[in-house]
A and B are shown apart, each in its own frame.
Chain A
Amino acid sequence: MNKVWLIIQREFLNRVQKKSFLVTTILVPLIIPAIMGVLVYVMIQEVKEAKPDTLQVLDESQLFKLESNKRLTIVPVSGSIVQVKAAYMESDDFGLLYIPPAESIGDITGITLYTKESQSPEKVGNVTSMLTDLVKDSKMEKYNVDKETLKDIRTTEVNLQEINLSEDGQEQSSNTQIKSGLGMALGILIYMFVLIYGIQIMQGVIDEKTSKIVEVIVSSVKPFQLMLGKIIGIASVGLLQFIIWIVLIFGVTTSVLGYFGLKMPQQQAMEQVIESTSDEEVKEVIAKQSNQGPEFLQNLSQIPFLKIALVFLFYFLGGYLLYGALFAAVGSAVESIQESQQFQFPITIPLLIGYLGLFMFIVRDPHGTVSYWLSIIPFTSPVAMVGRIAYDVPTSDLVLSMVLLVGGFIFTTWIAGRIYRVGILMTGTKVNYKVLAKWFMTKV
């Protein structure tokens, strides 16, 4: 056991002391928010600075009362369509809208937008929605709906508040969007972690095999100990990197927001009100109101983060161990990364199924049959269950899935260990699945 500890230490320190580890660990959490920040900034600037496009309109029906708005400046033109087109080509304007003659606004067809180059759907959409609104208005007028009613109808929006009834009678409001976002993010993280660090294990095994140190090592420790030490060592590297990322991202975000003095607007307003009053009753009322107010924050506070964090950690490690052992076995069978492709394929397939299932089934229907099985079967459960966990997963599902995952990684580690102990000492053999099966059966 002491020797496994030595191997873990070596694998860990060897990787952590590398410059590349330091660089990726520190830069990734700085770069990703920076890139996102720049993108958001550019987007905001673009929206702010966007000038309305000029749209020439030739309205032969005389029915449309087009008005300029924030996005479009309307310039009526007249003449034959041929003339107008020629004039438009001379101009710098965004487009030319041609409305053919018509009896009434309701049965108009053949409206055409001429532009110099293909335009973005967004800009074309602006024109379409403007026309649609006008057609709708005229139809409403035809049916004697007055403008005020119209406005009221237009601005109607239903806010659906979702409440989960739990078995013990508690009511909890749920926010599906936050949950699906959280579930997806965590699922993707696990998928990436398993893949990146699984390949690192494989690379490490291949290095030991090709540098031929492996026989020296296995004359001191059992091959299984070497494999286990490597898997655990690399897992600790991943875990450390992950924790540093979380701390850094959280720290950077908080300090940046703090620097700009940013807070959630409702939170700010509420704090001011509470500060300015001394009446207990008023405070209580405000407190009640504030509970309804920042619904987002309220929903956040109702998501059981501690539970999610613990479950995430469990599947993070469980999934990694399950696949890590298989990657180690592949590494032991081949002599180069290129050669490993054929064996990597069947390993990554179930992982990929879990990943795709996350988008196709779990986000859409977290408690459906497919979602259930994806989160129970050990090969897909690390990604799938983490995607489901933000929605209240029944404890029985969770326990079953966890037990199966533990069983799963013991099983894969056992299989991998049997292949590994033979594979690492084999060089110059052409390996296929039959050979792997033979190694598995070999008595060492």
Chain B
Amino acid sequence: MEALVAEHVTKQYSNHTALDDVSLTIPEKSVYGLLGPNGAGKTTLIRIINQIINADGGEVRIFGEKLKPGHVEIIGYLPEERGLYKKMKVGDQLMYLAQLKGLGKQDAFQRIKVWFERFEIKDWWNKKVEDLSKGMAQKVQFISTLLHEPKLIILDEPFSGFDPVNAQLITDEILGLKERGSTIIFSTHRMETVESLCDHIAMINKSKKVLEGSKKDVKASYKTNTYVVEHRGNFRLSGVGHQLVSQKELEGNHFVTLIKADQGSSPNALLHELLPQTEVFRFEQKLPTMAEIFINLVKAEGDEALRKHLQEA
């Protein structure tokens, strides 16, 4: 079953179109990366899912049900613009946020205790948020997002502003949540995060969806049939279609060579040709990184602004 399906969602603001006929399918128990530059429409889409704003057209379904007010209780949302009540005590604050998400008092209290133990912050209950360090406040924020054990978790740029220790903590938590059956939507423009965490991705550019699929499929569809070979002793390529892209000598007749194989050829055929000529230590199909795919995609679209953005990122 799909955790979330968006069909032909559009959102028009007075001076621009924020979302133009965007359809997404987010499988259950996946980590789904929503990618795209700032201003592409990611946050608008996320706000529609959270029912903070309404779409002008199209439909969003969560676990097969049309979007309804009760859904906010099964969503955990960490917005990009986030914060806490500075003058409120950590414990009271978490109780309040959990109750707003529909948890009962007792239930909320028990769960906060569990989280406090897990993060080893048992003595924080009576601390005011303004007395916490930034990293500590981030932990509280993260707990507040997950207290009601949401089935759908939406994290908008979750690592922005998080220090590496907390980022790792959160990465571990996210993977743990996935194990336990939650679906996680990730909005980011940081490609390394996508590479390491997501199993599905979609890319939104200029309010339109330009790409969607599992990471494996996307990578496969953008593969260039290029192989990395580490070998001793040089060789000569005979095949018509094979191309030697680059070769680097490591030490004592050791080489790392990049070969772009013929379009129709299989890895085995290439290997078959190499084996008699040289001793092969490593043979690996080189898959494009996410960053490469996007830069490629952007080049194809001729979008200067996006390319610049991705290069910066």
Contacts and interface: CB of A to CB of B under 8 A. Distances in A.
B300 interface: no
B144 interface: yes
B99 interface: yes
B83 A212 contact: yes
Interface stretch (B71-79, B192-200, B232-240): B71-79
Contact of A219 (B52, B54, B86, B99): B52
Interface in A201-254: 207-208, 211-213, 215-221
Interface string B80-123: 01111111100000001101110000000000000000000000
Q: Name the interface size band of chain A.
A: 20 to 34
B14 interface: yes
Contacts of A139: none
Contacts of B56: 443
A215 B47 CA distance: 9
Contact of A427 (B53, B81, B85, B100): B81
Interface residues of B, number: 27
A10 interface: yes
B268 to A, nearest CB: 52
Contacts of B85: 14, 207-208, 211, 213
B50 interface: yes
B111 to A, nearest CB: 16
B96 A6 contact: yes
A221 B84 contact: no
Interface of A: 3, 6-7, 10, 14, 207-208, 211-213, 215-221, 425, 427, 438, 442-444
B77 A216 contact: yes
A401 B99 CA distance: 40
A444 B77 contact: no
Contacts of A442: 13-14
B4 to A, nearest CB: 15
B163 to A, nearest CB: 18
Nearest to A225: B100
B72 A219 contact: yes
Contacts of A427: 81
Closest 4 CB pairs of A and B: A212-B83, A220-B100, A215-B79, A211-B83
Given A218-B52, A438-B14, A213 B83 contact: yes
Contact of B50 (A211, A213, A219): A219
A213 B47 CA distance: 15
A3 B82 contact: no
